[in-house]
């Protein structure tokens, strides 16, 4: 019984250590929305003006 508890605690502690090493600690901040909203972009004879929208990324979102 003590061996089982030790194995569970040992596994959890190793998992916490590994996850803290591989966690992405870089926070990406996009470009200044004021600069983007002022520009008009043209693509295939159509003009576009971007509207800023602030979102919170989830823990499992993937960014390339």
What pLDDT score was predicted for residue 8? Answer: 94
Strand partners, 22: none
Distance CA 45, CA 47 (A): 7
Question: What's the full length of the chain, in residues?
Answer: 64
DSSP 19-58: HHHHS---------HHHHHH-EEEETTEEEE---------
9-52 confidence digits (pLDDT tens): 999 999 888 887 777 666 777 777 777 778 888 889 888 887 77
Looking at residue 7, what is its pLDDT?
94
Question: Given this model, what pLDDT does residue 63 score?
Answer: 57
pTM above 0.85, yes or no: no
Query: Using CA atoms, how far apart are residues 46 and 21, in angstroms rounded to an integer?
Result: 46
Is the model's pLDDT at 3 over the cut of 70?
yes
What confidence score (pLDDT) does residue 59 get? 64
């Amino acid at each position: 019984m003590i061996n089982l508890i030790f194995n569970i605690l040992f596994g959890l502690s190793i998992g916490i250590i590994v996850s803290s090493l591989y966690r992405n600690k870089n926070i990406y901040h996009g470009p200044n929305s004021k600069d983007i909203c002022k520009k008009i972009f043209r693509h295939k004879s159509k003009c576009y003006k971007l509207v800023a929208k602030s979102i919170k990324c989830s823990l499992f979102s993937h960014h390339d």
